[in-house]
Structure 1
Amino acid sequence: MEILERDKEAAPAMHPDEWQARVQLAACYRVFDMLGWTELIYNHITVRLPESVAGGAKQFLINPFGLHYSEVTARNLVKIDAQGRILDGSAYPVNPAGFTVHAALHEGIADAHCVMHTHTTAGVAVACSEGGLQQTNFYSAQLHERIAYHDFEGITIHAEEGPRLVEHIGDRQAVILRNHGLLSWGKTLPQAFAYLWTLNRACEIQVATFAMGPARAVPEAIAARCSRDALQFDVRYGAGQDVFDALVRKVDRIDAGYKH
C-alpha cells in the first residue's frame, strides 16, 4: 500500500481536458467494479487523450497494474504512449499484455477513443462456445451484424497479433475474442460501455437459456430491424451517455473517492 499513500500527495497541474478524461475513466472503473466486471487486478479500460492534451502525439490513459478497480482514481491512472511507455512519471507499472490489444485498436481504428475488455463468466463462456453468440434474445438481436470475432492466439503480448485483430474487427464495435472474453470500442467512453453492456447481457441470457434446453431463434428479419432500432449506440441519441451517467451517480452514492 506504499504507492497508494503517494496518491495523497498534491496532484500536478494538468490540462483540464486531461483531468476530465481521468475522472470519467476512473468513474468507469468504479462502475465495472459495482457491476462485478472485475478480474482481480487484470483487464483494462483505456482512453485516447484528445488533441488538446496530446498535440500531435498519441497518448492514452490506463489503470495502474496491481490495483483493484475499486482502488483506481483520476490521479493514479497512468498516461502512456502507443508503445505502453509511461509518460507521467507514475510510480505504478503497466501490464504489457493488457495494452497490446488496446494499442492495436487505438492505432488501427481512427474512431477508437475508448477500448474495454472483460472476462466475465458469461462472456468467456459464450466466447468458448462453438457457435458464439446466438440470435435468440432481445439483446443479441440488437447486435445483429454488429459483432466481430477474433480467434484465440494465446496471451496477448505479441504485437504481431494486432493487425489481424484489427482486420477481423473491421468497423464492428462489439467483439468476441474466442476462448478469451469480450471487447468493445467506442467513439466515446459511454458508447463503448453501451456496446459492452449489451453484449455481456446477451451472453448472460444465452447462458441461462441454454441451460434450460434448446432456444427459440429470433428471425433474421426481426433481428435486423432490432439492430437498426437500437438507438442507444448512436451518438445522435446520446450513445449510452444517460445510462453511464445514471451508473456514475450510483457510484457517487457509494464512494466518490475516484474523483481525486
Structure 2
Amino acid sequence: MALGDSLTEGVGDPVGDGAWRGWAALLAAGLGEGPAWFTNLAVSGSQTRDVLERQLPAALELRPDLVSVVVGVNDTLRCTFDIQAVAARLDQVYAALAEQGAVLLTACLPDPGTMLGLPGALAHPLARRQRAVNAVVHALSDRYGALHLHACEGDWITDRAMWSADRLHPGERGHRQLALRFHALLAEHGLATGPAPSPEPEFPGPTRSASLRWLATAGTGWVARRCTDLLPQLLTLAADELRHRARGTSARLDLRASAAVSAALAALSVAEQPDAA
C-alpha cells in the first residue's frame, strides 16, 4: 500500500487516459513471484495532515503487510509550515502502521527550490525546510524500524532525463529509478523476491513542445496556486536570508532550523513518556 502525495500517486509517469502509474506501482509488480495486491491511496497535493486524517484510516482498515509513506514536500510549500506539527503527524502515522505489524518504507527527498532552479535567496529557505523534514523522517524511520531510502541523494537529482517538464516530479525514467532503489532495499532484507523493475522507459518521453505546452497551461496554474499561498511569506524569508548574508550571519538560520527539529523530536519523546503518577 502507498500513502503520500503526487510523487507516489505517479504524477510524471502517464499511462494514458489521464491516468498515472508511478514508482509504487512499478515496485509492487516486482515484490514476489506472484501478483501483489496493491492499493495506492496517495493524492496529489497532500500534506502530512491529509495522510494522517484521510489516508491512514483507510490503510489501517485494509491492514497492509508493506506500506510506503512518502510525504512532506507540500508542507514546505505552504505558509503554514510548522516542523513540530509535521513531526507529530508523521509520528502518529508511522506508529499506527508499525503497531499493526506493517513493514514501513520511507524516503527523504530533494528540496523543491533547487529542483525548480530558484535564485539562492528564494531557494535556501525552501531547502532549509526540506532538510528539516528529512531530518524528522530520518529520526522517525529509525524509531519505527522503517526501511529508509535516501532519495535526496544521487546523480538522478541532477539528471534532467529523470524529471518531467515541471522539474518537481520524476518522469517515467525517474519513477523507474525510485522503484529500482526501493526494490534493492527490500531485496537486501529478503522482502522482494520478484524481478526488479526495468530502468528503461516503456513509453517515449514528452517532446520539448509538449513540455512547453504543459508549462504554459497546467504548469502556470500549479505555480499560481502555490504562489497565492506561499509567495508573500517566501519573499519575507528571502529578505531575511539576504539580511543575514550581508551581515555574515547565515549560519544562524541553519542553527535555528536545527534547533526547531530538535525541539520537535524532543516534544514527541516527552509526549510518549508515561505520567509520573
Q: Same fold (TM over 0.5)?
A: no
The structure where helix makes up a greater share of residues is 2
Higher strand share: 1
TM-score, structure 2 length as denominator? 0.23
- Tell which structure's C-alpha radius of gyration is larger: 2
Normalising by structure 1, report the TM-score. Answer: 0.24
